[in-house]
Structure 1
Amino acid sequence: MEDSYRHKGMRRQLVKVVRSKGIKDERVLDAIGKIPRHFFFENALVEHAYQDKAFPIGAGQTISQPYTVAFQTELLNVKPGDKVLEIGTGSGYQSIVLLELGAEVYTIEYQKELYERTRFALPEMGYKANFFFGDGSLGLPRFAPYDKIIVTAGAPTVPDALIDQLKVNGCLVIPVGNAKTQQMLRLTRLEGNKLRKEVFHDFKFVPLLGDDGWKK
């Protein structure tokens, strides 16, 4: 897999676009600028890799729009060493952004095809995460609690299991709504199981599948 000067130039342009849309965290922008997103695309589709848009990756899923990845990551405010649970591995692009920020990443994927593809592809690219196949709407309780949890699919409601698996002062970033549009939420778990809820822009994600998501 080649990462040429041309590819790096296309990434620099992508970073400018993402920055122009309001992303301010330089660490997040640096991560977007480092990651060879074209590795997730066939050679004939490389031009699409550095456009700020989502793109189909099979199994009814997409590689997320870079701005969306940056927006969720900025809300998550990842610190080096944070233990982060990602619900919806998908292509693995969001996982790599988290790894670039120094997170210890646990990521779970509902679609077997994508799980098998990503758990081999990311190590080949030099990235190490903890990959799991299963129902992400239920979280990953055996490795809880987590400093941060990020959900990369649209949920009908906030799954209780994910709140339960957060550390005190930990936060969950999740898009919640109907099948057409979702509001991005950041929920911070406070002492005494209280929650602080912040509401951000509307987005459109593929549905979160599973017992506490949209049942398939």
Structure 2
Amino acid sequence: MNIEQARFNMIEQQIRTWDVLDQSVLSLLAVVKREDFVPAAHRGMAFMDMMIPLKDNGSQGRTMLEPKLEARLLQELAVGKHEKVLEIGAGSGYMAALLAHKAQRVLSLEIDPELARTAADNLKRAAVMNAEVRHADGSKGALAEGPFDVILASGSVASVPQQLLDQLKVGGRLAAVVGHDPIMRAVVVTRIDQNAFRTVEVFDTLAPRLLGFGEPPKFSF
């Protein structure tokens, strides 16, 4: 396989056609080597338009999201070089690497200890120095490290916990995929002031549920 041709095809045929037109994002995807963050057994799938299993055949949401979804979320957040980012769900560390190239600092929380170690090792090998992976339950955020300019949930949630929204700075943005299969939407929530938030639905998609984010109790008589 010609890796550079496959990378080019991924960017031009999958990502650009999914309304990712920010040249800084497209250029970054050519620089950060996605294949280096994919498990060896699935490296041939690195540039395919599909989720990639990271552990246990991808059970319980242990997957890499599709390249186009990663890129679109990155574009929607419009991270600046002065900003501090919290990622929920490190996975393989790839999204943290993308964020780190745009941000001042990235803290990525991963509830699965094995994936947390893998993500940290992948970032170290890629010489990403301003991203830290921490084994922790991301549903609670990182209160002691906040507030954050940007929070990204790299997976889906039934609803965005208020505990995470409260860790945004005023003017800060949170992106997540919200809802239940088969209807989910990527949303961006912006903190307007200390007590107000604005939510914008940006596109329809599907993503596996993040570990640690339980389903709300169902009503029963």
TM-score, length-normalised on structure 2? 0.88
Q: CA deviation at 1:48?
A: 1.4
Quickly say closer, same or farther: Cα 1:40–1:131, change in 2 above 3 A: closer
User: AA paired with 2:11?
Assistant: V
Q: CA deviation at 1:103?
A: 3.9
CA contact (8 A) 1:28 1:101 kept: no
Please point out which of 54, 58, 80 is paired with 1:57.
Answer: 54
Q: Which residue of 1 aligns with 2:219?
A: none
Q: CA deviation at 1:23?
A: 0.5
User: AA paired with 1:152?
Assistant: S
Q: SS at the partner of 1:33?
A: helix
Cα offsets for 1:155-184 (capped at 9, x unmatched)? 111111111100001011011112444211
Q: CA deviation at 1:43?
A: 5.2
Residue-pair matches, total: 210
User: AA paired with 2:43?
Assistant: V
Q: Which residue of 2 aligns with 1:177?
A: 179
Q: SS at the partner of 2:208?
A: coil
Q: What is the distance in 1 between the residues matched to 2:167 and 2:40? A: 40
Q: CA deviation at 1:8?
A: 2.1
Q: CA deviation at 1:100?
A: 1.9
The more displaced of 162-171 and 11-20 is 11-20
Q: What is the distance in 1 between the residues matched to 2:40 and 2:211? A: 30
Residues 117-132 of structure 1: pairs in structure 2 closer than 5 A: 117-128=118-129, 129-132=131-134
Q: Which residue of 2 aligns with 1:8?
A: 4
Runs of 4 or more above 2 Å deviation: 40-47, 212-215
Unmatched tracts of structure 1, length 5 or more:
none
Unmatched tracts of structure 2, length 5 or more:
217-221
Measured on the aligned residues, the alpha-carbon RMSD in Å equals 1.9
User: AA paired with 1:9?
Assistant: Q
Q: SS at the partner of 2:187?
A: strand
Q: What is the distance in 1 between the residues matched to 2:198 and 2:7? A: 36
CA contact (8 A) 1:186 1:199 kept: yes
Q: Which residue of 2 aligns with 1:23?
A: 20
TM-score, length-normalised on structure 1? 0.90
CA contact (8 A) 1:183 1:201 kept: yes
User: AA paired with 2:89?
Assistant: G
